Structure 1
Amino acid sequence: MARKLTTLIVLIMLQLSFSAPAKDWVYVVVEGDNIWNISKRFLNDINHFKEIQKLNNIPVAKQLQPGTLLRVPLEWIKNHAAKVNVKSISGESTKISAGQTSPVTTQTIFTLGDELRVAPNATITLVFADNTEVTLSNGVLITFDHLSQYGETGMVDTRVRLLDGKLEVRAEKQTGAGSRLDIQTASAVTSVRGTVFRVGVDKKNKNTPNVSVVEVLEGEVAVSAGDKSVAVKQGYGLKIEKGKELKQPAKLLPAPKIITFTKQVEKTNQAVIWQSVNSAQSYIVQIASDKLFSNIQWQKQQKLTSIILPSLTDGRYHLRISAISDDGVEGLTTPVSFMVNINPKAPELIPVDKMYMSTPKALTWTEVPDVHHFIIQIAKDKLFTQLVIDKQVNSQSFILNSPLALGVYYWRIASLQGKNLLDKGPFSVIESFDYSTKLAPPKLRISSRDNNIEVIWNPLPSNQHIELQTAPTSDFQKIDIPLLVSKTSYRFDLINDDPIYIRAKSVLTQHNISSEWSNYCKVAGKFEICK
């Protein structure tokens, strides 16, 4: 179907060391070259060698100095059809060739006249004959209007018509006067080689059916409409409207600054939050498996400044966010890489408050389907920089057979898919326990004479002391000031005949670890009772 196109021409100036007509290819002579072998290799008719000799003022055909520049008219150079290959594909895309449709795979080849339809939420990256890459995603429709290359010269003539959607182009450097890359929309845009830019059309928006956008990320693109021309430099964008005067390019919106993001994703429903950008009406978030974003796995356009990451298989990914202006021009972006390591899932830990040196207790965790091997880590700090245990186990429990220094410890568990540490999943939520030695409470005896009371207990090791309490009742709800005693007895006087209750516990002095309270003793007048 014939389509009306608004004329848009991009001017390319190729600077050479001598003046050559725009339609001439320039060849640099190397050691061993002569007019005949150059003609045989590059020209469509070897008999052009006489004209080449005359055009370049070569007195002796056999003598060519290395480094000599030869001008060769483009129409004399071999020319044949070029092909377009598929580098990567995610989701469904369709090729239409001579009225026949077929699904696109990485083996698909596009030729002149073919049409490519990219389904919503799908992405495909094409590689042209000159190694230029074009990434199409989310509902793009293009046709290949011209695909040819000039033999072995490296010059390729490519013209693609973008009917709907958006392309990201990573164009190779200019290789000669015959090189050309046109992306036609309701206008035509030609890249300067070595440029990274985006071209977009939104036919689904009835308010802007004849509007195109150009966004230059690297290099420069020159755009002309009618008798006016404008250069779109790196970091600038241009909105082009059919029938309206060409505007000056505007600076692209800056890349949104990410506030909340983790580069090691170990759980589902992970949030990404970024700062809003002034003048942004929406944002595009993309996740790809490569730094160039030629293999986009997921993307979303929205007005909010936060998203929940989608479900991704374990591996390395790259994320980028760009803001879209009121004119529909997409801004700059700063990609960040991250790792997904969710599987195998971590078990849930069964909390333990205390662990005693004298009576080791097992640390245990829940079962994980199809997982039989685990990594247990125990550390002195929450960041696990001071590891005391880092061990692989093949059960759902672990017993501390070797004593630790007394204190608080933190522990966590990770699942292993097999026995290989490379197949380790994320670590569990961290739990802690207090590692101590279990002290026996002292056994108290009472000796009284008149109003003088002596509390006696068995001798303690040098690193322990006694904490003594007295109270008017056996429930010790209202205690006197606690007494700290390091000897084997303590004496005090009764103030009156009211009963008094006494109890004590052993305390490990340096670690502030204590035993349970002892049974109490009761003193009432001349009577003493110890339970």
Structure 2
Amino acid sequence: MQKRAIQGKGWLGWGLAMLLLASWSAQAQEWVYRVRPGDTLWDVTGAYLKPSVPWQRLQEHNRIANPYQLPPGSTLRIPLQWLDRQPANARVVALQGNAVARSAAGRDAPVTAGMSLATGYRLKTSPDASLSLQFADGSRLLLLGDSELLLDRLTRFGRSGMADTRLRLQRGRIGNDVRRLRGPAANFIVDTPTASSAVRGTRFRVEAGDDHTQTEVLEGRVAVDAPRQRGALLRPGYGAVVAAGQAVVRPIALLPAPDLSRIAALSQSAHPDLAWPAVDGAQQYRVQVSANRAFDSLRMDAESDVPRTTLPTLDAGRYFVRVRAIAANGLEGRDAVIELRIDDQPAPPYSIAPAAGSVVRTPDVALSWTQAPGAIAYDYEVAGAGGFAQPLAHGRVDAAVSARLPDPLTPGDYHWRIRSVDAAGKAGPFGDSLAFTVRPLAEVTEIDGTAAAGNTRDVTFRWPAGQPGQRYRFQMSRTPDFSAPQLDELVDEAQITLPRLRSGTWYLRAQTIDVDGFEGPFPAPQVIEVPCRWCRIGAGAGALLILLAL
């Protein structure tokens, strides 16, 4: 069906009705009522019809032979003009900041939560304010800062559940969550100076500028119409910009929702910094913060030229952050929402050492961490198999970012954790515990040599054994720098048996190798002098005398 532009005061409503005719048929301007158990014609007439319409007309219109028997599940056709139209009110369900309501009589009053507003009220919000209205059918509207909204018509049809809600957004921006409208008399229409948007159950946004109107559809469908322009039916994920001089209202795809997955869900900062990857095609971003998931009122509503922002100072608690990209044409894209918890306790520092899963090669364990904002001291705990209910070591460190445990740890598995303490003495939560293993690497500083039993030509060198599973590298060299070792052997035990040594000066050393392949340091070498018929290893120099049969 071809739609023509309609001039004059009634063009908005008629144009929208024509645009939505296929899916929103008025079905001959009748409302169909389904009979419930116990219903009578008198009950239905009293609940839904005008007082001037008697029950006999309803009986005649539906050709009911016995008015005393209405089969449950059957239907009654009721002409729309018979329905009892009653004025409805909108209720302020949430408010942030300041707003003024001017009645049809011209009296101003500050808007308060719970306030009831009738047809003709005009609402104006301050630049940093926001408020939510709930209408007779349960639909809701969020009015943003620096906006002006006229409640043009608020009507309900008896107890039918149908409502006729018509709003005029003079300037500013609104978000709408409209319940699915049932019945031919139900309407939800938003007019602006340059366009009109009509829905029957959807989530959409409207902005009224000086010379244009923007509509963005998130769920359902919205019919957008304008004088002397061909309208459009917008599907989810599409928007339209209506400006003077256009011939056609064109659907435009909205930008996708930003990716907020990298933003931490917990912040110890009262005004956290948020950042997210840029959205292709975005010129700006709108960031909104609310204390409730429905975003009935906003603690923050701001635009950012870059994909990051700093939130205003927030009290400790749970908040919801909503971010969307804004295209060059001004249309705002799909929403991304995350939950953010603000914790005013001092944040734990980042742990440095021992790192998670690391092996400490000495029983004398040192802890280290970063400087945390606002912290003047730190509490640490070290636990073994008994867990942190029975810590093996704990303490408080003032104005430092490291600590050495007071007592050595025996070989084994441990966990440690750290927390911050602020100037008021308040201790924050412990950070994540980190697991580490103590497995000392003994430094081989003493090597003893003895002749092998029953064999005067061989000699065995021994040194203190380390932990089970550790291996050793034994080296002998003619020079103290071991640039060209004459012997370089890996052994599984803390000893090695060698054939007779040639005469001269020898340097020897042994290195411990852990089960994970970590190699300990080589100690300073020991020295032996081997004459042609006997070897003297000076006891005072950490060596001994070895006699060899030549």
Task: Say yes or no: TM over 0.5.
Answer: yes
Map residues 357-396 of structure 1 onto 2, 5 A cutoff.
359=363, 361=365, 391=388, 396=395
Unaligned runs of 5+ in 1: 203-208, 379-387, 418-422
Map residues 150-161 of structure 1 onto 2, 5 A cutoff.
150-161=157-168
Whole-angstrom distance in 2 between the partners of 1:80 and 1:502 = 106
TM-score (norm 1): 0.74
SS in structure 2 opposite 1:51? Answer: helix
Instruction: Label 1:403 to 1:246 Cα distance change in 2 as closer, same or farther (>3 A).
Output: farther
Aligned residue in 2 for 1:48:
54
Aligned residue in 2 for 1:441:
444
Whole-angstrom distance in 2 between the partners of 1:330 and 1:463 = 64
Asked if 1 retains the 8 angstrom alpha-carbon contact of 2:363 and 2:408, the reply is: no
When the two structures are aligned, how many residues end up with a matched partner?
A: 493
1:356-386 alpha-carbon deviations (Å, 9 max, x no partner)? 79957585878987999988789xxxxxxxx
Deviation at 1:31, TM superposition (A): 2.6
Whole-angstrom distance in 1 between the partners of 2:69 and 2:82 = 22
Deviation at 1:75, TM superposition (A): 4.9
Aligned residue in 1 for 2:217:
216
Alignment of 1:95 with 2:101, yes or no, is: yes
Aligned residue in 2 for 1:382:
none
Alignment of 1:282 with 2:284, yes or no, is: yes
SS in structure 1 opposite 2:167? Answer: strand
Deviation at 1:186, TM superposition (A): 0.3
Whole-angstrom distance in 1 between the partners of 2:49 and 2:194 = 34
SS in structure 2 opposite 1:53? Answer: helix
1:162-213 alpha-carbon deviations (Å, 9 max, x no partner)? 11111111112223333222312104525221122221112xxxxxx22112
Aligned residue in 2 for 1:8:
12
Aligned residue in 1 for 2:249:
248
Deviation at 1:106, TM superposition (A): 2.8
TM-score (norm 2): 0.71
Deviation at 1:128, TM superposition (A): 0.9
Q: Which has the higher strand share?
A: 1
Asked if 2 retains the 8 angstrom alpha-carbon contact of 1:157 and 1:180, the reply is: yes
Match of 2:202 among 177, 195, 206: 195
Which has the larger displacement, 343-352 or 458-467? 458-467
Aligned residue in 1 for 2:400:
none
Instruction: Label 1:178 to 1:506 Cα distance change in 2 as closer, same or farther (>3 A).
Output: closer
Deviation at 1:71, TM superposition (A): 3.8
1:206-227 alpha-carbon deviations (Å, 9 max, x no partner)? xxx2211222222223344446
Alignment of 1:34 with 2:43, yes or no, is: no
The alignment-based identity, stated in percent, is 22
Deviation at 1:403, TM superposition (A): 5.8
Aligned residue in 1 for 2:67:
61
Aligned residue in 1 for 2:5:
none
Deviation at 1:132, TM superposition (A): 0.5
Whole-angstrom distance in 2 between the partners of 1:245 and 1:466 = 86
Whole-angstrom distance in 2 between the partners of 1:370 and 1:281 = 42
Deviation at 1:240, TM superposition (A): 1.9
Map residues 58-207 of structure 1 onto 2, 5 A cutoff.
58-97=64-103, 101-187=108-194, 189-202=196-209
Aligned residue in 2 for 1:383:
none
Instruction: Label 1:457 to 1:259 Cα distance change in 2 as closer, same or farther (>3 A).
Output: same
Whole-angstrom distance in 2 between the partners of 1:370 and 1:149 = 63
Deviation at 1:523, TM superposition (A): 3.5
Unaligned runs of 5+ in 2: 1-7, 397-404, 452-456, 543-550
Whole-angstrom distance in 1 between the partners of 2:380 and 2:116 = 47
Whole-angstrom distance in 1 between the partners of 2:151 and 2:431 = 51
SS in structure 2 opposite 1:164? Answer: strand
Whole-angstrom distance in 2 between the partners of 1:110 and 1:214 = 25
Aligned residue in 1 for 2:322:
319
Which has the larger displacement, 506-515 or 280-289? 506-515
Asked if 1 retains the 8 angstrom alpha-carbon contact of 2:229 and 2:249, the reply is: no
Asked if 2 retains the 8 angstrom alpha-carbon contact of 1:463 and 1:510, the reply is: no
Aligned residue in 2 for 1:261:
262
SS in structure 2 opposite 1:8? Answer: helix
Whole-angstrom distance in 1 between the partners of 2:386 and 2:267 = 22
Whole-angstrom distance in 1 between the partners of 2:23 and 2:470 = 90
Instruction: Label 1:240 to 1:503 Cα distance change in 2 as closer, same or farther (>3 A).
Output: closer
1:117-137 alpha-carbon deviations (Å, 9 max, x no partner)? 233343322211110111122
Deviation at 1:21, TM superposition (A): 3.8
SS in structure 2 opposite 1:186? Answer: coil
Map residues 306-345 of structure 1 onto 2, 5 A cutoff.
306-307=308-309, 313-315=316-318, 317-326=320-329, 328-331=330-333, 333-340=334-341, 342-345=343-346
State the AA in 2 paired with 1:169. N
Deviation at 1:305, TM superposition (A): 3.9
SS in structure 1 opposite 2:42? Answer: helix
Instruction: Label 1:458 to 1:231 Cα distance change in 2 as closer, same or farther (>3 A).
Output: closer
Instruction: Label 1:94 to 1:371 Cα distance change in 2 as closer, same or farther (>3 A).
Output: farther
1:328-351 alpha-carbon deviations (Å, 9 max, x no partner)? 2233x1534344365533433474
State the AA in 2 paired with 1:211. H
Asked if 1 retains the 8 angstrom alpha-carbon contact of 2:292 and 2:320, the reply is: yes
Alignment of 1:521 with 2:527, yes or no, is: yes
Whole-angstrom distance in 2 between the partners of 1:238 and 1:74 = 33
State the AA in 2 paired with 1:87. V
Deviation at 1:63, TM superposition (A): 3.6
1:23-65 alpha-carbon deviations (Å, 9 max, x no partner)? x444333232222222222334266223333333334433434
Whole-angstrom distance in 1 between the partners of 2:407 and 2:429 = 24
Asked if 2 retains the 8 angstrom alpha-carbon contact of 1:343 and 1:425, the reply is: no
SS in structure 2 opposite 1:62? Answer: coil
Whole-angstrom distance in 2 between the partners of 1:106 and 1:371 = 45
1:234-258 alpha-carbon deviations (Å, 9 max, x no partner)? 133222224x344132232330553
Deviation at 1:425, TM superposition (A): 4.7
Whole-angstrom distance in 2 between the partners of 1:501 and 1:100 = 104
Asked if 1 retains the 8 angstrom alpha-carbon contact of 2:224 and 2:234, the reply is: no
SS in structure 1 opposite 2:127? Answer: coil
Instruction: Label 1:375 to 1:298 Cα distance change in 2 as closer, same or farther (>3 A).
Output: farther
